Amino acid sequence: MSNQYNKPLPNPQRWSQDFWKGTQDHKFLLKKCKECGNIDHPPYLYCTECMSMEHIWVEASGKGKIYTYSTTYLGAPPAFTKDQPFTLAMIDLAEGPRMLSKIVGAKAEEITIGADVEAVFEDVTTDTTLVMFRLV
Ligand SMILES: [Zn+2]
């Protein structure tokens, strides 16, 4: 953990603050609609299925599968240049939502569509923890 993290940081909104507080405790929380049961991620102000603003937070299993991915070898924005190559993936979470995240701890050639992944937490500053994924 460092306070010299030089990459963009999330800007939590009142409807996503609980998600970001959860990540600090290394909990991956998903917003579940109390009306229809839909789970949204990222968390929105209201349910994307029925527009309800009533929700509960449920802890995700952290399990998912890679739907698709892209590896950046060159041309990343300056803050990410030294991370090249890195892979961003669309991940189908076990709970339903599809999310974008970074795959860590694997070489690009090891990553495949359909691979099982699990969430890991990266404490990037003293008050920001990001959710990333690794192959299982
Ligand atoms: Zn709903």
93 has a pLDDT exceeding 60: yes
- Total residues found in the chain within this entry: 136
Enumerate the CATH 2.40.50.840 domain ranges in the chain, comma separated.
61-136
Span from the CA of 53 to the centroid of ligand 1 (angstroms): 8
For the entire predicted model, the pTM comes to 0.92
Span from the CA of 6 to the centroid of ligand 1 (angstroms): 37
Q: How far apart are CA 9 and CA 38, in angstroms?
A: 27
Q: What is the pLDDT of residue 112?
A: 98
Span from the CA of 18 to the centroid of ligand 1 (angstroms): 18
| Structure tokens that stand for 42 in this block | 């990222």
Span from the CA of 123 to the centroid of ligand 1 (angstroms): 32
Span from the CA of 38 to the centroid of ligand 1 (angstroms): 5
User: DSSP character for 114?
Assistant: T
Decide if domain 61-136 falls under CATH 2.40.50.840. yes
Span from the CA of 99 to the centroid of ligand 1 (angstroms): 18
CB atoms within 10 A of CB 41: 21
Span from the CA of 108 to the centroid of ligand 1 (angstroms): 37
The 10 Å CB-count burial string (b at 16+, else e) for 63-96 is bbbbeebeebeeeeeeeeeeeeebbebbbbbebe
Closest CA to 70 of 100, 115, 96: 100
CA atoms within 13 A on the CB side of 5: 16
CB atoms within 10 A of CB 27: 17
Span from the CA of 30 to the centroid of ligand 1 (angstroms): 13
Span from the CA of 133 to the centroid of ligand 1 (angstroms): 27
Q: How far apart are CA 54 and CA 52, in angstroms?
A: 6
Q: Give how far Cα 44 sits from Cα of 1, 14, 37, Å.
A: 28, 10, 14
Give 9-62 pLDDT, tens digit per residue.
999 999 999 999 999 999 999 999 999 999 999 999 999 999 999 999 999 999
Mean pLDDT, rounded, of the chain:
96
